[in-house]
Structure 1
Amino acid sequence: MSHDGVGLRAVLRSVAFLTASALAVPALAACSAEDEAGKPVAGQDIAPASRDEIADGGTLRWAVDAVPETLNTFQADADSATSRVAGAVLPSMYRLDPNGRPQANSDYLESAKIVEREPKQVVLYKLNQQAVWSDGREIGAADFAAQWRALSGRDTAYWTARNAGYDRIESVERGKNDLEVRVTFSRPYADWKSLFSPLYPKDVMGTPDTFNDGARKKLNVTAGPFALKAVDRKNAQVTLTRNPRWWGRPTKLAEIDLVAVPRDQRAAALAAGRLDLAEIDPSQAERITLAARDGGSKPLTGPGVSPRTRKAIAEHPEQQVALRDFVVRKSLEPIYTQLALNGAQGPLADERVRRAVARALDRKELAQAVLSPLGLPAVPVGSHLALSGQQAYADNSGALGGQDTEEARALLADAGWVPGGPVTEQKEENAAGAKGKKADSDSGDGPGDDGEYIVGEDNKPAEADREKKDPKDQTTQHQQADDQAGQHMDGKQYANHPGGAPGAYAPKGTAAPAGTAAPAGTAAPGGAAAGALAAKDGKPLTLRFVLPSGPGAEALRTVADRIARMLERIGVRAELSKVSDDSYFKDHIASGQYDLALYSWPASAFPATDARPIFAKPVPAADGSLSVEQNYTRVGTDQVDQLFDQAIAELDEDEARSLVRKADARIWAAAGSIPLYQRPQLTAARTSLANTGAFGFQTPVYEDMGFLKKPPRPAASPSN
C-alpha cells in the first residue's frame, strides 16, 4: 500500500502441499485479542509545524517516477503517482493515521457507522454538509451509487482492476436527507471502511466510457484541497493548484508540481533547483548528509564514506554545495521485504525443507544489514498481514520458530537429505531453473541504484497473465488481479551496504564436495562436517535463488548473499541467478520459475480483504492449470482460507483481529514466505519545508504542507 491510499488491491493465486502437522500450531497465545499491536518501529519524519509558522503560497516541486498513465486509481495501470494525485484532489472517507489505522476524514464525513447487522449489514454515512464537487454539486448518494455499480463486477463493460468489497454491496440509497447515504450489504463485510476512498464523481463512474477513458488523462470534476490544473506529458509534469471551492482548511501551498525524475538523477535535480522533495537512495542520502555536515566544501577524508559517494562528489562538486540546502528525512515504509519459497515443485514442495530453510535464517542479522547503516531500527517483521502499530499486528513468528541451525539440519534429515551424502552426475536442470536459464545468460550484473521490488502497489498489469485473457473482460476480483500483479513496480531504491561474497558459491553443474570445513566446535548430524552439502538419491540440495540484475536491486543482492551463506551452514546450496529486471516477475516469480526470491509487499489496513489473495490456496482452473492469485509461493491451506473468510465477515472488530492473527500464525507454520524487514523510506526535503517528508504510515495532509516563514531581518544597529 502506498501511503497515498488506504488499501492494497492486487491479486494472483497458487498451489500448496502442506501436511496437517503444520496446522497444529501450539503457539497461538500471540493471537489473543488482549495483545497490543504496539507502535510503529520508526515514527514519521515530516518536520511538523503549526499552520501559523508556514507561509502562504509557493510551489512544491515533488518528484514522481513517471507521469501517470491514468488518473483512475481503479484501473490496472494506475501507479503511485495516480494515488498521489487522487489523494490531493478527490474525497476519501477514511485516511490512515501515523499508526496505519483508518480514521474518518471529517472534511467529508460527520460520521459513518453500522446501524443494522440483521438481517443484513447496513452502514449509514452522514456527509459533511459543506462537501461539494468543484462544479458546485453536493457530494451525495448518487456518487456512492455510481462508484458501487462501476466496481461491483456486475457490468463487464467497466475495465476495473479490483472490486473487493463492492461486490458485497446490495444497494446504495439516499437516507433521510441529501446528506445521508445508506449502504446495504448482501453479505457481512468487516472492511467496509476501505470503500469509497477515493470517491470519484458520478461523472466518472456513471458510464463505462467515462470510467474507461474519460478519467485517464483528465479530471474535470474534483473535490479535494487541490484541483488538477494540467497533465503535461511533454515536460513530464502534473500540476495541482488550489481548489477555489475547498471548504476545509485552506491550502498553504499555491501549487504542487509532480515532476517525473528518474531516481538515479534526483540528486542532480535537487541541486539544480528542479525539485524540493524526492524519495532517494542511500547513496544520495549520504551525499546530502555530508553536504549538511561539511557545508558542501570540505574534502572527504577518513573511512565511512562509500566509494560510490566519493566518486559522485568528485565528479560533481558544484552539486555538493547546492545539496546543503536539503535534509534527509527517514522512516520505515508500510512495506516489508520477504523471502519467498516456491512450494510447487522441487525440494521446497516438502514442507520440512521449507521449514529448514526458514529456521536457518537469522532475520535480525538481515534486518541489520539493510537498516542499521541508515540509522533505522533493525527489527524483523513478525507478521505477514500487518506491521507494528497497525491494529492487526502481532508477532506470530513463534509458530515457525527462530533461527536454529541444528533444528534446520534435523528437519532436512527427516526429509531424507543427508549431509555429505553421495552425489551423482546430474544432466537435468534444477526443477525451477530450466526455463530461466536463457534469461540468466542474457542479463548482466551492472551497478545501479539500490532498491526493492514491490508487488501490489502500483497495480501495473503483468504481461504473463494478460496474454491469457482479454483485458476488457471484467471477471471476479481474484481473476482480474492477474492483470495487475507480478512485476517490478515503482523501483524504489534503498540500502546499499557491503556484505556479499560474490563468487563464493559453486556454479551450476559443479559436483558437491564430500564435506566442507566446519566452524570450530560445530558438529552436524550423522557425523558429517557442518556445512557439508546435503544430498538425497544422489542429488545435492541446490536451490535456484532468482534476483533482478539491474539498477535498483543492490539491496536485494546483498541480502541474498547473506541468506546463501546461512543456508550453506545447513547443507543447502543457493545458486544466485541474476535475471533482467523486465523478466524478473513476468518470467520467473509470477510463472513460478524459481526456488527462492526476494520481493516486497505493502501492508494493508484491511488485511482480511487485501491479504487473502496473497495466501489463498490454489484452485484448478478450467484448462487444468492452477489459478494463481498473488500467492507466488504456491503455498496455501484450506484452514488459512477459512480464517480469512471468517475474518472478512466478522463485524466484531476484536474477533476479526483475532481471526487475522490466527491466519498469520498458520501462514508462518506453512513456511511459504518469511518476512524479513520493513523497508526504509528516505526522502530529501528542502530545509524550509514543513509537514512533509518521510510519512511512514500516514496519509499526507496536503493542505498543511508548505514552506516555513522567513525569520524577520534583525533591525539595523544605530550608527555612532
Structure 2
Amino acid sequence: MNRSAAPTAVPPAPRAHAVRIAVALTAGAALTLSATACSSGDGNHAAGTAGTDIASVARAGVRDGGTLRWAVDSVPRTLNAFQADADADTSLVAGATLPAMFRLDAHGRPAADTDFLKKADVSATQPRQVVTYELNPKAKWSDGRAVGIADFTAQWKALGGTNTAYWTSRNAGYDRIAAIKQGKDASHIEVTFSTPYADWRSLFSPLYPKSVTGDPDAFNDGARTALPVVAGPFAVKGVDSKAGTVTLVRNASWWGQRAKLDQLVLTAVPRDKRAAALAAGKLDLADIDAGALSTVKKTRGLAVRKAPDAAYAQLALNGSAGPLADEKVRHAVAQAVDRKAIAAAVLKPLGLPAVALGNHLVLPSQDGYADHSSALGKASLQQAQAALADAGWKQSTAKAGDQAAGPGRSAASGALTVVEPARAVTKAGKQLSLRFVLPAGSPTLDDVGGRIAKMLSAIGIRTEITKVDGTSYFQDHIAAGDFDLALYSWPGTAYPATDDTPIYAKPVPAPDGSLSVAQNYTRVGTDQIDQLLDRAGSELDAGAARSLTAQADARIWAAAGSIPLYQRPAVVALRTTVANAGAFGFETPRFQDIGFRK
C-alpha cells in the first residue's frame, strides 16, 4: 500500500493488502485504494463506536439467485491488487474471487478464513521466524489445481523486490521472506523470514494464482482486465469499460458455501447520480454522500446503513518550506483547531458518535485505540498564540476582519477565498499567510476547510482557500507538495508498522538531489518515529508491539505534520430486500452470503 495514484471515489469496505492511496474528504465517498485493516489483541473501542451496520440475514433467509447491482466510481484500472494503479474497486473484485488467508471482523481483528486456511501460526522463532500455514485441502483454483506452495512461492518472488521485471506497488513483508518450503504434506507450507516480521498475517491476502505471479508479463499486463483463474465464490465474467461494468458470476468450482447471487455487477455511477439511480431501480447498493440522505429516506423500498468507515480524515501541514517548516508554527495551527467541533459538525447530523480522532495509527472502532493528542500539549487558543509568539510571530494592532473573495476574484489555479484575521500576526513585517488547497465540488470539504480557516483566523493567521480540479487534486497538489494546508484521508490499517511507515517516515534525499517522501506528503518526520515503527514491525509479542506503536503515534502528534480529525463515516443506501450488505467498516464481506431476502 505504498503508491499514490490519481484518486477516484470508491467504497473502501472490502480491501486487499496491496496499495494505499489518499482518500478525499467527501461526506460518504473515499478516494481510497486497497488496504487491509485490523488490530490484534485486546483493547478498547471508543464509546459507542459500532464497527458495522449491515442488513444481516441468516443464509436460510436469503433467496437463491438474482443479480445485485453495486455502485462503484469507475471500472478498475487493473484487477491486480499489487499494482500502483489498483484501487478499492480492484480490491472489491479480489475479495469476491481470490483467496485471502485472513479475514477481518467488525473491529478489524484478523481470523483465518477457513475456506482457505485451517490455521496458521508462528511455529519457530529461532534461529529464524517460521510461520506454518495449514491450508484447507478442498481449496482449488477454477482450473482444477489445488491452491498450494507454487502459488505462495510465485507471489513471494514477484513481490519480494529482487526481480525488477515485476511492476509492483510495494514489497513490504514479502522482502523479509527468506524461504518457502512444503511442510509435512501438500497442505502445510512453511514460510521462513530473514528478520522477525510482526505483520505476517498481512501476507498472501489476496493470493493470486501462479499463472499471474509466476510471469512478469502476466503480472504486469495479463491481470489488468481479466482473471481467467480464480478461487473464490465468484468468478470474473467480463469487464466492460464502455458500459462501466464488471460482471462477477457464481463460481461453479467453489468448494465453500454456494454463492447466493447468480451475478454481482459492479456498476460505475457518479456519486451525485446514485440516489436517482436507486430510486429508479437501476441500483441495489451504493455508497452515498450525506447530501443524498433525504432523497433516499423519502424513497419507498430504500434504507440507509451508517457506521464509522475504515478510514480517517486529517488536516495535513506541509513542513517542507515556509512558516510551517517551523515546528512551533505547526503546533500553533494544531492547537488552534477544535477537532471535537469539526467531528461534531460532520458526524452528528448522521447520528454517529462525534469522536475527535486522537490517533494516527489505530481508529476508534479498532482494538487498542487510545488518544495520544496530549503529546501536542493543551489545545487552546492561548497555547496556540503562545506558540506563535515563541516562533517570533507577533500580533499586530491593525484590524482586518474576515472577508471572502468577491465575484470574479480568483487565483490562476482555481477559485480563491481569503479569510483574514481580526488581528494578524507578523514577522519581519510579513503577515503569516497559509495556502489551503481543496478539491472543488465538495460541500463537506468546503465546510470543514472553512471552519479550520476561521479557527486559524482567531490566532492571527491569514488563510487563502484555493479550490482546484478534483481529478488533479491529489497528484498535482498533494503528492507534488503544492500546498501549505490540505484535507485528505487515509485508509485505516491493521498493520500500522508496515502500512503506515511510508506515510510517516522521515523524508530522505534521493540520488538526484530531490527529496524522497514515499507517501509522507507532509514532509514531516523524525528518526525516532522511524525507529519506533521499525521496532514495532519486528516485535512478535503483540503487547510490546502495541506499546511501540503507541509511542510512535505520540511522536507523530508531537511532530505536528498531520492532525487527525475524525474517523470517516460510511453512508450506504440499499434496497430493503438486500441481505448481508451495508456499511462494512473494517469487516471483510462474505460475498457468498450477499443476496436478497426471501
Q: CA deviation at 1:444?
A: 4.2
The answer for the alignment partner of 1:623 in structure 2 is 512
The 5-angstrom pairing of residues 47-66 of structure 1 reads 47-66=55-74
Runs of 5+ consecutive residues of structure 1 not aligned to the other structure: 13-32, 292-322, 424-437, 446-502, 507-511, 517-531, 710-720
The 5-angstrom pairing of residues 166-315 of structure 1 reads 166-289=174-297, 291=298
What code does the residue aligned with 2:594 have?
M
Matched, 1:71 2:87: no
The 5-angstrom pairing of residues 396-411 of structure 1 reads 396-411=372-387
Matched, 1:97 2:105: yes
The 5-angstrom pairing of residues 304-703 of structure 1 reads 323-420=299-396, 440-444=411-415, 505-506=419-420, 516=422, 532-549=423-440, 551=441, 553-703=442-592
Q: Deviations over 1:504-540 (max 9, x none)?
A: 724xxxxx8xxx4xxxxxxxxxxxxxxx211111011
Does structure 2 retain, via aligned residues, the 8 Å contact 1:236–1:260? yes
What code does the residue aligned with 2:190 have?
R
- 2:222 partner SS: helix
The 5-angstrom pairing of residues 130-149 of structure 1 reads 130-149=138-157
Distance between the aligned counterparts of 1:70 and 1:34, measured in 2? 37
The answer for the alignment partner of 1:316 in structure 2 is none
Does structure 2 retain, via aligned residues, the 8 Å contact 1:7–1:604? no
Q: Deviations over 1:323-357 (max 9, x none)?
A: 31111111121111101111111111111111111
Distance between the aligned counterparts of 1:407 and 1:356, measured in 2? 7
Taking only aligned residues, the RMSD between alpha carbons, in angstroms, comes to: 2.0
The answer for the alignment partner of 1:315 in structure 2 is none
Distance between the aligned counterparts of 1:557 and 1:132, measured in 2? 50
Does structure 1 retain, via aligned residues, the 8 Å contact 2:413–2:466? no
Distance between the aligned counterparts of 1:440 and 1:339, measured in 2? 22
Distance between the aligned counterparts of 1:388 and 1:334, measured in 2? 10
Q: Deviations over 1:472-504 (max 9, x none)?
A: xxxxxxxxxxxxxxxxxxxxxxxxxxxxxxx67
Distance between the aligned counterparts of 1:402 and 1:383, measured in 2? 16
The answer for the alignment partner of 1:453 in structure 2 is none
What code does the residue aligned with 2:568 have?
R
The answer for the alignment partner of 2:17 in structure 1 is 7
The answer for the alignment partner of 1:159 in structure 2 is 167
Does structure 1 retain, via aligned residues, the 8 Å contact 2:56–2:579? yes
Structure label with greater radius of gyration: 1
Does structure 2 retain, via aligned residues, the 8 Å contact 1:417–1:536? yes
- 2:333 partner SS: helix
The answer for the alignment partner of 2:4 in structure 1 is none
Distance between the aligned counterparts of 2:45 and 2:581, measured in 1? 26
Q: CA deviation at 1:586?
A: 2.3
Q: CA deviation at 1:11?
A: 8.1
Distance between the aligned counterparts of 1:125 and 1:355, measured in 2? 47
Does structure 1 retain, via aligned residues, the 8 Å contact 2:52–2:584? yes
Distance between the aligned counterparts of 2:540 and 2:196, measured in 1? 7
- 2:63 partner SS: coil
Distance between the aligned counterparts of 1:389 and 1:679, measured in 2? 11
Distance between the aligned counterparts of 2:48 and 2:510, measured in 1? 40
What code does the residue aligned with 2:334 have?
A
- 2:308 partner SS: strand
What code does the residue aligned with 1:3 have?
A
Distance between the aligned counterparts of 1:568 and 1:444, measured in 2? 20
Distance between the aligned counterparts of 1:284 and 1:566, measured in 2? 28
Does structure 2 retain, via aligned residues, the 8 Å contact 1:146–1:206? yes
- 1:545 partner SS: strand
Task: Give the 4+ runs in structure 1 shifted more than 4 A.
Answer: 37-40
Does structure 1 retain, via aligned residues, the 8 Å contact 2:20–2:491? no
What code does the residue aligned with 1:563 have?
I
Q: CA deviation at 1:689?
A: 0.9
Distance between the aligned counterparts of 2:213 and 2:592, measured in 1? 26
The answer for the alignment partner of 2:402 in structure 1 is none
Change (3 A) 1:11 1:280: closer
Q: CA deviation at 1:661?
A: 0.7
Matched, 1:82 2:56: no
What code does the residue aligned with 1:346 have?
G
Q: Deviations over 1:290-309 (max 9, x none)?
A: x1xxxxxxxxxxxxxxxxxx
Q: CA deviation at 1:671?
A: 0.9
Distance between the aligned counterparts of 1:567 and 1:681, measured in 2? 29
- 1:582 partner SS: helix
Q: CA deviation at 1:390?
A: 2.2
Q: Deviations over 1:161-194 (max 9, x none)?
A: 1111001101111111100111011111110000
Q: CA deviation at 1:282?
A: 1.5
- 1:544 partner SS: strand
Which fold has the larger relative contact order, with Cα–Cα distance below 8 Å and residues 6 or more apart in sequence? Answer: 1
Percent sequence identity is 58
Distance between the aligned counterparts of 2:472 and 2:144, measured in 1? 48
The answer for the alignment partner of 1:107 in structure 2 is 115
Distance between the aligned counterparts of 2:170 and 2:203, measured in 1? 12
Q: Deviations over 1:23-64 (max 9, x none)?
A: xxxxxxxxxx99635577233111111111111111111111
Does structure 2 retain, via aligned residues, the 8 Å contact 1:440–1:580? no
Distance between the aligned counterparts of 2:42 and 2:107, measured in 1? 18
What code does the residue aligned with 2:419 have?
Y
What code does the residue aligned with 1:80 have?
A
Distance between the aligned counterparts of 2:556 and 2:289, measured in 1? 32
Aligned residues: 561
Change (3 A) 1:367 1:278: same
The answer for the alignment partner of 1:499 in structure 2 is none
Q: CA deviation at 1:402?
A: 4.3
Q: CA deviation at 1:78?
A: 1.2
- 2:567 partner SS: strand
TM-score (norm 2): 0.90
Q: Which has the higher strand share?
A: 2
Distance between the aligned counterparts of 1:38 and 1:193, measured in 2? 25
What code does the residue aligned with 1:357 have?
V
What code does the residue aligned with 1:412 have?
L
Q: CA deviation at 1:233?
A: 2.4
